[in-house]
Structure 1
Amino acid sequence: MSTLLSRQLQGFVAAGGLSTLLHWFVMAALIAAGLEPVLATVSGSVSGALLNYGLQRRLAFRNAGPHRVTLWRYIVSCLGAWFCNLAFFFLLNNVLGLPVTLSQIVTTGLVAALNYIVYQRLVFHEQTR
């Protein structure tokens, strides 16, 4: 694995890990407050996404294009990720009947893999002139 890819993947995991912790904290707090789990995970993912944008640019994709370009791409990617998060979680929890925690762990892994590919190829890739 190239040094750049290794550094990029490490930064992606670190940024995503911190953002995921925030997502799960918000989700758990909202569930404890009585909110339905599907709505709680959507709210948690919004919180995590806000933190994640800045961390991804700092830790993983340092050579990304300007904010005026990457921010809009990131927002669109978040919409896709939020839909995937909701769909995967709903399928695992409501259709397959898996527990909330297991459903969210599996959902997070699936969405993280998709996000890395999208960030690397579409959102934060270097601008060519």
Structure 2
Amino acid sequence: MAFLFVRFLISGGLATIIHWVVFALLAHIGIVAVLASTIGAITGAIVNYYLQFYVTFKSQQKHIKTLPTYLIAVGFSFFLNGLIFMGLEKILPNELMVVQILTSMVVTVINFILYKKVVFHDR
């Protein structure tokens, strides 16, 4: 299980780097920042799906089953990220980096559980 979590972190990390690179390239050529970030996030989510599917969880399911569940999990994680961030920001209003790090840690663990038990779980 520990090695699975490491693969999950590496795959997610690579997807995040791709998100940031796409964002930076698009922003550099003059795309509006929020659009550049959105395109980067979508690109990162697509890369993350394939890395988690093939590398981390080595799923044998059909994409027609896993992709919709993945999209729901991503939507839930996005909502959860905002909710946790808002809650922690009220507790630590002057420590935004700490708040973001804590939020990311919690969401990462929840994503791992969701992906392992629901999204990529071979039944």
TM-score normalised by the shorter chain: which range applies? 0.7 to 0.9
Residue type of the alignment partner of 1:65: Q
What residue in structure 2 maps to residue 68 of structure 1? 64
SS at match of 2:70: helix
Give the counterpart of 1:19 among 9, 15, 40. Answer: 15
CA distance in 2 between partners of 1:65 and 1:17 (Å):
23
Gapped regions of structure 2 (runs ≥ 5): 28-32
Gapped regions of structure 1 (runs ≥ 5): none
Runs ≥4 residues deviating over 6 A: none
Alpha-carbon displacement from aligned partner over 1:93-129 (angstroms, at most 9, x marks no partner): 3x231433222211110000001111111000113xx
Between 1:116-125 and 1:95-104, the stretch displaced more is: 95-104
SS at match of 1:62: coil
Percent of aligned positions that are identical: 31
1:86 Cα deviation after fit: 1.0
What residue in structure 1 maps to residue 48 of structure 2? 52
What residue in structure 1 maps to residue 4 of structure 2? 8
1:91 Cα deviation after fit: 2.2
SS at match of 1:82: helix
**Superposition RMSD on alpha carbons, in Å?**
3.1
TM-score by length of 2: 0.73
Aligned length: 115
